[in-house]
Amino acid sequence: MTFYCNDEVNSKVSFQSPLNVTVDQPTGIRSPVEQNSNRQHFIPRKYPFVKVIQKGTNNDNSECHDLKDQHNEKVELHYDISTLNLLGFIETPEDQIIRDEGYRSHAFNVLISDRLGYHRALPDNRHPNCQSKIYSTKLPRASVIICFYNEAPSALLRTVHSVLDRTPAFLLQEILLVDDNSDLDNLSCQIEAYVKNNLHKVRYMRTATRQGLIRARMYGANQAEGEVLVFLDSHCEVNTDWLQPLLTRIIDNRVNVVVPVIDIINADTMELQNSPLVVGGFNWGLHFRWDQLPVHVRDNPDVASNPVKSPTMAGGLFAMDRSYYFELGEYDSGMDIWGGENLELSFRIWQCGGRLEIVPCSHVGHIFRKRRPYGSYGEGDTMLKNSLRVANVWMDDYKKYFYKQRQQPTDVSYGDISDRVALRKRLHCKSFEWYLSNVYPEQVLPNSEGVAPAVIHPPEKRLKTKVLRKGQIVHTTSGLCVQGEKDIYAKRSMLILQHCGQAGKEKKYQIWHETVDSELILASVLCLDVESKEQGHSFARLMKCHGSKGSQAWVWTKKSGVSLLYNPATGKCLKATNKSKRIYLTFDICQDNTDMAFEMSVQ
């Protein structure tokens, strides 16, 4: 997949020392530390709006339904896509409700997530050079900070258990679960009780009011005891040996801030999909984007196993030395909720003497949701406010390009930035021009009209997906064939049944190509896809092939001997439906009835 003191930006907060001595210090500058031999002892901040739950605390959770550790043996030992696909089957109206409510509340398929349980095997998708690496046992211990708000319990606890299951115990100091005042049913008390009863290395804490991702992370960092801070989103799954490569780079140089390769967990099917090796960038509206590797980096034969410098980071997942985090000024506490904090930290790292890297030997899966399922709760356009702070602190004269791109009212308040300007001066940070010249020379400046094209890269060679077989898809009951309602090049065209063509164009427009990626492509042009609606029918349509499976993945299955075409993303099967004097293709709960009987007549 988002602390503040509820007052103005320049308010002071209290730090509670071990001797109960309160020391006031401006926010966003530096946390107090005491030198103790070669290590720094951290004195955490005391936030009045955070309720900290330590292990062993007695809490009345009588109104909660206890969460039990969920195991699914079919997915726990081996990763198998066929087994995963079957988890999406909608068999009852109750299953449909769980799925629909999950998308509304969380923007991903909670039905499959719940059926997966809290533990599952993942394919080791690292480069062979990474798999053969041996890491030192003398690495620093890490505190993993996971902030959440109204997260689906199965996704949250699978995140936690993946860290516990795949991290050497001697490297994991703790996991900090920061509950940002969740108000979804009994989620908070359920997670609190589950942590208390099952997870001895996990600390649960909850804000008294919602603070947002930025300040929640600030609080978690201030409570952490590990030498390294690792931030994760609340819907992730870490992979084999994920932590060691990150810690190794931090040991090499404490100013290295490191990011794993973020693999895609498909929001519809929960399938783990390999991400290409890319780096972070931004456009002049200060929105993050992924850029291809520069040519000189891409041509390096060792690029798949060696760290790559990145101009920016997505922000959800990264690791950095704890003391360096505070020296660099933490997050900007004047920012609200979510948005822009990743670019602010990225610019600050580079301009103030640090280095930001993608580490290809570390892989973490992340559910890429279809939308952000919650708002900013009365805080207005936090992305705009936060971006204005970024531009006015770090971008010097180049901020004019941001203002031209956004074309927002100039009277939008972005708060007092004097402490951040002072931080930049104290750290002797370089100019934004230096950043563009030395870190991000690929960035393209806008023209006189304020238009800036995307970063120019040589076009990638696209490999054609291997075709397993081709033929007409026949509705066996009627003997009719599936084709587009319009021309084969017409995107969003609905699918209908027509008499099966015997030759020529009539037949060509009914030939489907089934690929190794489970796609069904009509006449090698457009893919069979789903247009989902929360109410009424979901219609089959032709859409541009995106190569990400999801709603374009299809599985042939049988029920009571009837051949069905199943779509794991919807959990339903293709169905012939009479509507407006035509037979359209829709979806319904998979059953052994004649409306759903399809097969491929192989050519």
Q: Is the pLDDT of residue 459 over 60?
A: no
Per-residue pLDDT band for 547 (boundaries 50, 70, 90) equals confident
- Specify the CATH architecture of the domain 12-29+36-59+74-80+96-367: Alpha-Beta Complex (3.90)
| Chain position carrying tokens 């026949």 | 474
Candidates 49, 241, 266, 106; CA nearest to 162 is 241
| Chain position carrying tokens 């099966």 | 500
347: Cβ contacts below 8 Å, ≥ 6 apart: 312, 390, 394, 395, 432, 435
Q: What per-residue string of b and e applies to 220-250 under the rule 16 or more CB within 10 Å gives b?
A: bbbbbebbbbbbbbbbbbbbebbbbbbbbbb
Q: How many CB atoms lie within 10 A of CB 112?
A: 27
> Mean pLDDT across the stretch 181-200?
90
- Specify the CATH architecture of the domain 467-602: Trefoil (2.80)
Q: Is the pLDDT of residue 33 over 60?
A: no
In this predicted structure, what is the pLDDT of residue 370? 77
Per-residue pLDDT band for 130 (boundaries 50, 70, 90) equals very high
Q: What is the pTM of this model?
A: 0.84
In this predicted structure, what is the pLDDT of residue 516? 92
> Mean pLDDT across the stretch 493-508?
89
Q: Are 59 and 192 in contact (CB under 8 A)?
A: yes
For residue 457, the one-letter residue type is H
pLDDT in tens, 469-479: 999 999 999 99
In this predicted structure, what is the pLDDT of residue 381? 79
Q: Is the pLDDT of residue 531 over 70?
A: yes
> What's the distance, CA 200 to chain centroid?
27
Q: Is 260 exposed, middle or buried (0-12, 13-18, 19+ CB in 10 A)?
A: buried
DSSP 3-state of 578:
strand
pLDDT in tens, 267-293: 999 999 999 999 999 999 999 999 999
For residue 556, the one-letter residue type is W
304: Cβ contacts below 8 Å, ≥ 6 apart: 127, 129, 130, 277, 360
How far apart are alpha carbons 256 and 349 in whole angstroms? Answer: 9
Per-residue pLDDT band for 41 (boundaries 50, 70, 90) equals very low
Q: What are the residue boundaries of the structural domains of the chain, listed by start?
A: 12-29+36-59+74-80+96-367, 467-602
> Mean pLDDT across the stretch 289-306?
90
| Chain position carrying tokens 């984007």 | 289
In this predicted structure, what is the pLDDT of residue 37? 34
Per-residue pLDDT band for 505 (boundaries 50, 70, 90) equals confident
pLDDT in tens, 340-373: 899 999 999 999 999 999 999 999 999 988 777 6
Contacts of residues 73-76 at CB distance under 8 Å and 24 or more positions apart, as own/partner, are: 75/116, 75/117, 75/120, 75/121, 76/117, 76/119, 76/120, 76/121
> Mean pLDDT across the stretch 423-430?
97
pLDDT in tens, 149-169: 999 999 999 999 999 999 999
359: Cβ contacts below 8 Å, ≥ 6 apart: 245, 246, 249, 258, 259, 260, 261, 307
Terminus-to-terminus CA distance in the chain, angstroms? 45
Q: Are 485 and 494 in contact (CB under 8 A)?
A: yes
DSSP 3-state of 457:
coil
Among 132-146, 197-211, 526-540, the minimum mean pLDDT is found in: 526-540
DSSP H stretches of helix in 120-212: 128-131, 153-166, 187-198
In this predicted structure, what is the pLDDT of residue 50? 53
Q: Are 366 and 236 in contact (CB under 8 A)?
A: yes
Per-residue pLDDT band for 54 (boundaries 50, 70, 90) equals very low
pLDDT in tens, 71-103: 888 888 889 998 999 999 998 989 989 998 888
| Backbone phi, psi, residue 574, to 5° | -65, 140
DSSP H stretches of helix in 427-574: 432-438, 504-508
DSSP 3-state of 325:
helix
Q: Is 593 exposed, middle or buried (0-12, 13-18, 19+ CB in 10 A)?
A: middle
Per-residue pLDDT band for 185 (boundaries 50, 70, 90) equals confident
Structure tokens at 90: 């909608």
Count of CA atoms in the C-beta half-sphere (13 A) of 342: 25
- Torsion angle of the four alpha carbons 184, 197, 172, 276, in this order, in degrees rounded to the nearest 10: -40
How far apart are alpha carbons 416 and 419 in whole angstroms? Answer: 8
20: Cβ contacts below 8 Å, ≥ 6 apart: none
Query: What distances in angstroms separate CA 325 from CA 30, 34, 312, one per listed residue?
Result: 9, 16, 16
Task: Assign 3-state DSSP to the chain and report helix, strand, coil percentages, each to 5.
Answer: 25, 25, 45
